[in-house]
Amino acid sequence: MSATRTLTDFIRALRSAEVAVSPAEAIDAAGAMNLIGYTDRSALKSALRPALAKSEAEGEAFDRLFDLYFARQASAARPQDGPARDEATEAPPQDMLELAQSGDEAAIQAAMERAGRASGVQDIRFSTQTAYYAQKMLKQLGVEQMEAKLLEALQARSDEGEAEAAGMIAARREMLKRARAHVEAQFDVFGQGATQAFREDVLTHKPISALDLADLKRMRALVEKVAKRLAVKHSRRRRNRSTGQLDVRATLRANAGLGGVPFRLHWKQKKRDKAKIVVICDVSGSVARYVRFLLLLLHSLGDVIPELRAFAFSARLGEVTGQLDSDRFEGVMEQILREYGMGSTDYGQAFSDLKTRYPEAIDRRTSVIILGDGRSNYGDPRMDLFREICARAKRVIWLSPEPEAMWGTGDSELDRYRTHAHATARVATLSDLERTLDRVLALYD
């Protein structure tokens, strides 16, 4: 196997672990490899890393895969070095029985490597594919020919035949074990990243209400990923310079020193509002779970939203911005629930509390996100106050964990609230939350 092949396979492994390697970078890596050579593995590692891994996260994936991949390469390469190796790749499969019984470790290793390549083990994505690829490898190794012989031996009905068959069965079992081990090692290199990505994809679209405890832990990391994605997208200021209307005053001022000759032109710039978000969360039992994710997401987004205020209520409403500002999220939700989670939900009372205790919270730059099911226990929904909020705020978005068919049934007032809100949406999954926040933040870009 040539050096280029080794490198391209390694790059495939990197790509499967979500390290996006472009062809240009692959060329850089090949250039670096040519310069450094591949005798000194640690030098090779520090030469390939700057060419291939372009962030800290990618660097970690690179380190893990480099050690896995080149450790395997070294064990496969040692027995037969030099040009002979390329011929070996093309060589027809040896007799499998002979190979198994030869006990030649190096030859078996090389045969496994060859069979693995021929059956495309590098494409493995999930650990459940292990058996499938192991079987495919056995076929490459010539298991069919051996099985034909095995049948012959059994049909001979002689002691010799029996003994021969037993040997072949043992050899087959041994080779299958080796093949499985080979596939598992390959999975570590090529499949782990993909599995991880798949799992995350599933979690992102899984209803929050259906998450179990193990999922919740993983979700934490995932929420932070989503937050980062949103942050990257919205932290950049988009400015339209050098377009539109001439700013006469600024131009004259800037060129006063040049005798009023307009060398440097200034253009009128559109002013953008800073993101100002108010979230109002119903933290009664049925909704609390969704609130946790919304707050965690907002907590991780801290830097993007300069002005964020959070309120929680069930019976009475209070501000929880302070708790959210602390560096760690652990325990924050529990504290909020202890403080505000008791009591029966009363939306009317909550809006009235908001008006009397925090009258300055909402102005025309504010986006209001309300997370709740709108079930007010038949209390007065205070439609007048809600209408007032909608009139004053830039945008009011109501998020409900319930499906649309349930809105307005029983004690739900959501059907009436939604006529005033700018948008109403159901949030069932993390990706719903992401989409909503994306839309809100886009208002301020």
Partner 1 sequence: MTQTETSGAYGALTSPEAITAGLGEVGYISTPDISMAVYLAQHLRKPILIEGPAGVGKTDLARSLAEWLDVPLARLQCYEGLDESKALYEWKYGKQLLYTQILKDRLNEVLGEGDLSALTGKLGDFEDLFFSPQFLEPRPLLRAMQQAEGSVLLIDEVDKADEAFEAFLLEVLSDYQVTVPELGTIRAQVPPIVVLTSNAVRELGDALKRRCLHLHIGFPDAVRERAIVGARVPGIEESLLKQLVAFVQALREEDLRKQPSIAETVDWARALTLLHVEAFGEETVRQTLNVLLKYESDIAALDNRVGGLARAAASAP
Residues that bind partner 1 (CB under 8 A): 20, 22, 24-25, 28, 30-32, 34-36, 42-43, 46-47, 49-51, 53-56, 59, 232, 235-237, 239, 241, 258-259, 263, 327
Q: What are phi and psi of 151, to 5 degrees?
A: -60, -45
**φ, ψ for residue 191 (rounded to 5)?**
-100, -30
In the bound state with partner 1, the residue whose beta carbon lies nearer, of 47 and 280, is 47
Could you tell me which residues come within 8 angstroms of residue 151 by beta carbon, excluding any fewer than 6 positions away?
none
Q: How far is the CB of 13 from partner 1 (least distance, A)?
A: 18
DSSP 289-321: HHHHHHHHHHHHTTTT-SEEEEEEESSSEEE-H
- Residue 360 burial (C-beta neighbours within 10 Å; 0-12, 13-18, 19+): exposed
> Nearer to partner 1 by C-beta: 17 or 291?
17
DSSP one-letter string for 25-63: HHHHHHHHHHHH-SS-HHHHHHHHHHHH--SHHHHHHHH
DSSP label of 344: -
3-state secondary structure of 371: strand
Token reading at 183: 């596939």
Q: 15 or 54, CB closer to partner 1?
A: 54
Compute the least distance from the CB of residue 29 to partner 1, in Å.
Answer: 10
32 vs 362, which CB is nearer to partner 1?
Answer: 32
β pairing state of 395-400 and 423-426: parallel
Q: Checking DSSP bridges between strand 307-313 and strand 317-319, what pairing results, if any?
A: antiparallel
**Six-digit token string for 350:** 């909550």
Smallest gap from residue 252 Cβ to partner 1 (A): 16
| Angle subtended by helix axes 213-234 and 430-442, to nearest 10 | 20
Nearer to partner 1, 173 or 253 (CB): 253
Handedness of CA 359, 365, 371, 377 (dihedral sign): positive
In whole angstroms, the minimum distance from the beta carbon of 325 to partner 1 comes to: 12
Q: Burial level of 129, CB count in 10 A (0-12/13-18/19+)? A: middle
- Smallest separation (angstroms) from partner 1 to the CB of 25: 6
Shortest CB 128 distance to partner 1, Å: 33
Q: Which is nearer to partner 1, 195 or 255 (CB)?
A: 255
Shortest Å distance, C-beta 38 to partner 1: 14
Query: In this complex, which beta carbon is closest to partner 1, that of residue 43 or of residue 170?
Result: 43
**Whether the Cβ atoms of residue 106 and residue 47 lie closer than 8 Å to each other:** no
Minimal distance, residue 5 CB to partner 1, in Å: 17
Closest distance to partner 1 from the beta carbon of 247 (Å): 15
When the beta carbons of 43 and 248 are compared against partner 1, the nearer one is 43
Closest approach, Cβ 233 to partner 1, in A, equals 9
Residue that has been written with the tokens 């070996």 in this structure: 88
Cα separation, 253 vs 238, whole angstroms: 25
Q: Which residue, 34 or 409, has its beta carbon nearer to partner 1?
A: 34
Nearest to partner 1 of 54, 420 (CB atom): 54
What one-character DSSP code corresponds to residue 375? B
Cβ 278 vs Cβ 290: under 8 Å: no
